Amino acid sequence: MSTQQMSQHAAGDPLECYSIPIVLHKEPDTDQRGNPIFGADGKQRYRCGFKIGGGIDQDNTKSPQGYPDKGIYVTFVYENGPAHQSGLQVHDKILQVNGHDFTLVTHKKAVDYIQRKPLLNMLVYRKGMPNLQKMGQPQPQFQSYSPQNQYSQQPQAQYQRGY
């Protein structure tokens, strides 16, 4: 599947693409004095260090970033936070978290699932990654890519949420 085809993926359609594994270890959320913060359920809260936008319940045509589908996208990464340290980047499309499919999820369900665990094993799609080569074709030993900023960097509050 080409990059152009992937960026126009419809929710629920089979997906063949180059996915990037990301292991994100969250940081315990603390107050200004360094004391742990607990949620209403009594469990300690953790910080991921990124914001997301999208979902099957969102209108992607109103996204200021110009995302082509209703997927869950990373809209902001806090510098030196857990997401930044794990290699997550703005505009990454989250395909899976801890084995949970994120291609057919509402924004709220994505938020709830991301907040649930202190460790996130993620698969993401990153625009600009090289296409996979078919078996039997010569493959270079190393491939590199230059991410092309094809989305706007301007976040919009009602389309994204931070953690």
Residue entry with tokens 């995302």: 67
b/e per residue 31-44 (b: at least 16 CB within 10 A): eeeeeeeeeeeeee
Mean pLDDT by 10 residues, the chain (163 residues): 50 69 94 92 92 94 88 96 96 95 95 92 85 50 41 45 55
